[in-house]
Amino acid sequence: MSNIDNEKQAPEKSNTVYKTGDIITSKVYKVSPEQKVELDRLSTERLKKVRKEAIPKIRERYEQLVKLRQQQLKAGDDGKPIEVISMNGQVCEMKKKVAVKLDDLINEIEFQMVETDTYINTRTGEVITLSKEEMRAAEDEEPLEKYPDWQRENIEQAIKIIEDEDEVYLYFTLRNEYHEYEIIEEFIGTLNEAEVREELFGAIQGRGAFRRFKDGISEHDLEKQWYEFKEKKIKELVIEWCKVMDLEMKE
C-alpha cells in the first residue's frame, strides 16, 4: 500500500475509532449526554448538602475543644486533676502542666552523668534521672527482687515512663544534644586579645583539647569569665528548648 493510500485511510481509521469509543461508552456505562448532565447536577447538589451539614458539626466540635482548653487552664497550680467532658462525652481527668525549675535542667546539662537519661514530669515539674540499666530492666520486665530497694524505686519509675500513654513524661533531649566544644569555640571568639584567641584556638585542636583549654584559661586568668559565659549560654539553650517544647519554666 502506498503512502497516498495510507493518508487517505487515516481519517477513516480515526473516525472509526471515535465511533467505536462512542459505542463502548454507551454500552458499558449506558449514560447519554443528557443523563451525564443530570448526574453532574445531582453530584454537585449532594456535595453542597454534605458541606452544609458538616459546617455546624465542625463549629460545634471546635467550640467544645475551646471549652476543654479553658477548663484545662483553670486547673490549680498544684497539678491536681479536674473533671472535664471529653469529645466522646465521657468524664475524664485533666491536669495542668506545672513549671519546671530551670536550675534542675541546667544542672543536668552541667553534670552530664554518664549512662543516664533524663525525663521531665510535666504534671509535677519533677526532673527524673535514670540509668540505662534501670531503663533496660524496665523494658525487659526483670524481676525487681534482683535489685536493691533504692534501685527498685527507679525501675518502677522507669516502667511508668515506658508505659506512659498520656505523654506526661518528656524526654530531655537537650542533654544529649549539648556539645561543650561549641560553647568553648564561641567563648574564645568573644575574647578581645587576638594573641590569646589564637593561642586558645590552637590549644583546642586534636586530642586533649579540653585539658589544654582549661590550662590556657587558667594561665590567662579567664576562668571566672569562662564559667560565667558557659552558665549564661546553657541557661539560654535550656530556655529556648523549653519554649520549643511548650514547657513552662520557673527560676
Q: What is the tens place of the pLDDT at every residue in 91-101? A: 444 445 688 99
Contact 76, 93 (CB under 8 A): no
- Which stretches of 112-208 are DSSP H helices? 132-139, 149-162, 174-177, 180-190, 194-203
pLDDT at site 3:
47
pLDDT at site 43:
74
pLDDT per residue over 209-231, tens digit each? 999 999 999 999 999 999 999 99
pLDDT at site 175:
87
**pLDDT higher than threshold 50 for residue 106:** yes
pLDDT at site 52:
72
- In angstroms, the CA 218 to CA 247 distance is 38
The number of residues making up the chain comes to 251
pLDDT per residue over 152-172, tens digit each? 899 999 999 999 988 899 999
pLDDT at site 87:
42
pLDDT at site 35:
75
Contact 68, 90 (CB under 8 A): no
CA 84 to chain centre: 26
- In the chain, count H helices and then E strands: 10, 7
**pLDDT higher than threshold 60 for residue 26:** no
- In angstroms, the CA 192 to CA 174 distance is 30
* Average pLDDT over every residue of 165-186: 91
pLDDT at site 176:
83
Neighbours of 239 (CB within 10 A): 14
Please give the grid coordinates belonging to residue 169.
513524661
* Average pLDDT over every residue of 199-216: 94
Neighbours of 184 (CB within 10 A): 22
**Domain coordinates of the chain in residue numbers?**
3-57, 100-176, 179-250
pLDDT at site 20:
41
CA distances from 90 to 37, 87, 247 (A): 47, 7, 27
- Mean confidence (pLDDT) of the chain: 78
The answer to whether the pTM exceeds 0.85 is no
Tell me the HSE value of 68 on the side-chain side, using a 13 A CA sphere. Answer: 18
Phi, psi dihedrals of residue 111, rounded to the nearest 5°: -80, -35
Phi, psi dihedrals of residue 75, rounded to the nearest 5°: -60, 150
Nearest to 118 by CA among 248, 126, 181: 126
Contact 199, 216 (CB under 8 A): yes
Nearest to 230 by CA among 200, 179, 187: 187
pLDDT per residue over 50-92, tens digit each? 667 777 767 676 666 666 655 555 544 444 544 444 444 444 4
DSSP state, residue 99: P
User: What percentage of the chain reaches a pLDDT higher than 70?
Assistant: 71
pLDDT at site 70:
58
pLDDT at site 62:
65
